[in-house]
Amino acid sequence: MALFDSLKESLNESWDHVESYLNSSKKYYKLKALAYSSMLMSFFVRLILISGLLCIAAFFGAVAGVFALGEWMGSYILGSLVVGLFFLLLAVIILFFRGYISNMILRKISKIFFEIEDHEE
């Protein structure tokens, strides 16, 4: 009987250690997920803020360009047409290079992801 009691106690202790390990691992992965998500969130917030400011600057630049070209050409309609064609050309260029742009963003996100893993090791 003493052997079975000793074995039972040993198994209970082992199970307690396994539970402790699993709880620690769960907490570790929660912290790791929090670190990844906070880094990615920070990246996207910066991206949105910078993009928003660039859009505002582009809007005011376009309005100024319309007025400047309109004065120079003698017609605000022609100035609007030239600025509109410029933005259309810009959109076509971005559409043409969309794969490169996507790869660049993916590389940036991967760099953030693996940068966190390197700090953990």
Please write the tens of the pLDDT for every residue from 60-102: 999 999 999 999 999 999 999 999 999 999 999 999 998 888 8
Q: How far is 10 from 30, CA to CA, in rounded Å?
A: 30
Span 23-42, pLDDT tens digits:
888 888 888 888 888 888 88
Q: Give the pTM.
A: 0.61
CA 57/CA 63 separation, integer angstroms: 10
Indicate the domain borders of the chain.
35-120
- Listed in sequence order, the residues at least 6 apart from 36 whose beta carbon sits closer than 8 Å to its beta carbon are 113, 116
Query: Encoding tokens for residue 104?
Result: 């660049």
